Structures are given as structure tokens and as C-alpha cells.
A and B are shown apart, each in its own frame.
Chain A
Amino acid sequence: MSLSDRSVPRPLDPPGSLPRSLDNAPDGILASRAADGDPRAFEVLVRRHGPLMRAYATRMMGGTSESDDIVQESFIVAWEQLPTLKDGNSVRAWLMRIASRKAIDRIRLRKNDEPLHDWDAEAPTSQSPAHRVEVASQRERLTQALAGLTPTQRQSWLLREVGGHSYEEIGEQLSIPPSTVRGLLARARRKLVEEMEGWR
């Protein structure tokens, strides 16, 4: 069941009018309509931003197994909270923040795997130099470099650089002081840049 199937011409359509599909509507219009209760507008937002949220969740969790659940939970919360969103044009960043919170909730549940007090542990070197030389693209190298961070370093870095959160927000979400977040991010960033640039 595609969107276009359900928005086929209403009787009022003037012949030969431009296609009015919501698919091309700006985020602000879609967010306002969804806030007013239009599920079709919400569907366009889901299709437009869901894949990015899923990719973000996958990077946060270090795998895809929980990404779909995080995206689903995020959109269900988003539907309920859309009427409180002030500027519909910022809906993408707003959705990413909801996804951040949902991912962090799940990371907290993994307490046996990744106790938060391990945030400061020194990460193992990700790959041997011989292997690193073989990697094909920059993106793969970044992926490998990310794998070399501790989980908390990686999450902090994603929250900051991809999710756009402030140090205070990251500290709140990970239950650590903002000053600690800053140190964590400094180490993560330096390690990533150095691995990417082959300084070691």
C-alpha cells in the first residue's frame, strides 16, 4: 500500500493540475499537518527521516538488531509529542534527538554488557596496521576507527557530532558530568582523526 495509492484524485481535482503529492512537501508543512492529526503527512515524515534514524541507531548500538525497534518507538513518541514541536522545519533534528534518547534507554538496559563505569577504559587498538592498509574506502576506515573506541566514547561522539547534542545533554543522557563528556569526546576525536589520517 503506497502513499500515492491512497491519495488518488479527489473529486475536486482540477484536470491537469500539478501533482500535489505530499512527498515533496517541506518538513514544516508535514509536521504541522501531522500535529493536526494527518497520518499521511506523518507517513511521509517516517519515510523521509526513518532511514537516517535507523542508520544513527545502528551506529549507536553497534549493530542493527535493535535499530528497527528504536525507530518505531521514536516515531510513536514523535506522533504523540508533535503538537508540542514549535518549529516544524526543525523536525529532523527533533526526531534524531528522540532516537538518541530511545537508543540510550536501551544502552542502559545492557548494563551487564557495558557498565557505565567502564566509560573511561582505554580502548584496544582496533586493527593491526597491516589490516588497516587494506581497507578500501574512507567510510570503512571511519567505521573501523569507531569500532576501536569504547562504547561510551563512541556513543558520546555520535550524540555530539551526528545527533548535535550539547555536552550538557550528553552528560544528562549518559549520567556523567559535562566536564567528563568533554574529556571523553576529546579522546574519541583525537583517536579518530589520528587513525583516519594515518598519524600512527
Chain B
Amino acid sequence: MTSSDDTPDRSVDRSGSEPEVTNDSGDLIEVLNDYLDRGEDPPRELLDGSPDHQLTLDALVRFRRLTRELLADDVAAEPARDDGWVATILANIHSESRAGRSIPLAHPSSIADLSISEGAVRGLVRAAGDAVSGTLIGACRLEGDVTEPGSPITVAVEASVFWGERIRATADHIRTAIESALLLHTELNIVAVDVTVTDVHLRRTGQENS
């Protein structure tokens, strides 16, 4: 922190303010709040300038904590509700908007136009990967021209693995499970299944996306 930052008035923009804001306590709150917004400690010289300054800072810190907790407390105070609001939301979203490309299936008849949607294949890949103990599949991409029968296709998935699983072995299991599922249900020419372990997690309460 440079000494120029220590001049309190520098960080106050009065352009939209009425005169009342320029009184001492208003100014001081704004100056201190700017430091806290930037994640910085206010300079010692400013706090030592007057006993009021430290008291104001303490008050502001308490207030900001209360602010952060306000909504969490609102949520906690909310009585339990039935699931109607969730159902309403889910009834208004459409999986078809994620259908993606159309993956053709072979048939001898000239009037047959048979396909599996890319969205259905992604769902299959997720289910196959999730079935491996201790894993959850995240993003899934089919790389290559899936609309052209026989094109080489690479499947790229991200996976979250529960803490304690052996990552390399788990990735192998995921790869095998996905390959088997695609072989069973589709006619895609899968040349590789790339598994990227993006994070290791315990439970949500211990969620640390390292």
C-alpha cells in the first residue's frame, strides 16, 4: 500500500452526493467501506487518527457481517414449504432445447430416418459414469462428426471423484463403463474416451473444489 492511498478523501466520489454526506461520519464510513470492499485493511495512521475511527471500523465490520448473514437468516426463518414451487419450475424447462445433433442409425428401408439425439447419448454417458462407485460425471462432449456414420468420435467427460477413491483406477473404470454403454446402445465409432477428473469432493458441506 502506497502512502497516497492513506489520504482518506481520495477514494470518495462526491459527484452524486448531497452536502450531508460530506459530514465526518458519512465520509469516514465510505472511506473505510472502500478499503473493506477491496479486501484491504485500512491504514494504521487512519485508525490511530481518532478513537472514533477504530470504533467506526468495528461498527462497519459488524454491520457487513450482519448484511452477509441477513439472507441466510431469512432462509433459515422461512417455514418449510411443499415442493410445488420446484415442480412449477421443472414443468417449464424443456430438455428438447438440449437435444443437440442427430446421430443416425442404420436401417435397410429407404423410408427409414432413424436417429438418437446427442442429448440422449450424453445422458447415457452420464448414467454410465455415475454408476462407477464414488464418481459423478460433469460436462460431456462428443468430438467428431456424429452425423456421419462411421466417423471417428472421441468422448470427453469431466468427472468429480469422491475423496479417497484412487483417481487413476477410477478414471479407468469410468472409461470402460462409458465405452460399454455406447457400444451397447449406439452405432458410434468411438476411438477414445477422455476422462478428466476436475475435482475431488466429500460432501457438500465439505465442498472444496481443489
Contact = CB atoms under 8 A, between A and B. Distances in A.
A24 B78 CA distance: 22
A150 interface: no
B71 A25 contact: no
Chain B residues touching A, majority SS: helix
B160 A29 contact: yes
Contacts of B100: 37
B30 interface: yes
Interface stretch (A43-51, A107-115, A128-136): A43-51
B6 interface: no
A26 B199 contact: yes
A111 to B, nearest CB: 22
A80 interface: yes
B109 interface: no
A196 B66 CA distance: 10
A105 interface: no
Contacts of B85: 50, 68, 71-72
B15 A182 contact: yes
B201 A24 contact: yes
A37 B119 contact: yes
Interface string B85-103: 1111110110101111000
Contact of B63 (A28, A75, A193): A193
Given A182-B16, A193-B59, A199 B86 contact: no
A183 B15 contact: yes
B133 interface: yes
A40 to B, nearest CB: 9
A87 B127 CA distance: 23
Contact of A43 (B71, B86, B140): B86
Given A29-B136, A32-B158, A52 B72 contact: yes
Interface in B59-82: 59-60, 62-64, 66-67, 69-75, 78
27 contacts: A1-B87, A12-B127, A13-B131, A14-B131, A25-B204, A28-B138, A28-B199, A32-B139, A35-B98, A38-B123, A39-B93, A42-B90, A59-B70, A80-B97, A139-B66, A161-B67, A179-B15, A182-B16, A183-B14, A183-B16, A183-B18, A186-B17, A186-B29, A187-B21, A187-B26, A189-B30, A199-B25
Given A28-B209, A33-B138, A52-B75, 10 more contacts: A1-B83, A20-B135, A33-B137, A37-B95, A37-B123, A42-B90, A50-B85, A75-B89, A142-B67, A181-B16
Q: 9 shortest A-B CB distances, which residue pairs?
A: A37-B98, A183-B16, A12-B131, A55-B74, A32-B139, A179-B15, A32-B138, A180-B16, A17-B133
